[in-house]
Every structure is written in structure tokens, then in C-alpha cells.
Amino acid sequence: MRTTLNIPDDLYREVRTTAAATGRTVTSVVEEALRAALARYREEQAGGRRPFVVTPHGSGGLLPGVDLDDSAALLDRMDGR
């Protein structure tokens, strides 16, 4: 979609400089900035909750025969059964 925005001169110069320094278009820099701002807004509206990310530690990986889609089997395995 094509639209017209009124942007302060100093902000436009910064966007143009960023675009030139990164080899991108002004449009792509503005689009990325808008997407990032909207994502932050949605996150704030959701109570600031961020997705929970599990970070693996240690070595060895998944034990043989463990099915991550079978929660009952996982609980049995964790209980030593």
C-alpha cells in the first residue's frame, strides 16, 4: 500500500543515513522500524510477557526411547518408572 507520512526532517535524515549505511531502501528501514514498534506495543498490551524459551544445558541430548509428545511417558520416566 502506498501512503504519505509527515516525518520530521531530522528523523528522515537518520532513516536515510541508516538505509545508505546498510545498503537498504528507506522503505525497508521504515517498515522494519514500524514492525518492531508494533511488536513492542503488542507485547506491552499482553502484560509484557515474552515467549518462554527452553535453553538446553549439559550434554548427551534426549535419552533413547523418550517421546516428547507423550506427556504421561515423560512423567513416568521422570519418576523413575
Position 48 scores a pLDDT of 60
pTM reported for the whole predicted model: 0.55
CB 11 within 8 A of CB 5: no
Lowest mean pLDDT among 2-6, 33-37, 75-79: 75-79
Show the DSSP H helices in the chain as ranges.
9-22, 26-45, 71-78
> Residue 54 CB: number of other CB atoms within 10 A?
5
pLDDT tens digits, one per residue of 27-70: 999 999 999 999 988 888 777 666 778 777 777 777 777 788 88
Confidence of residue 20 (pLDDT cuts 50, 70, 90): very high
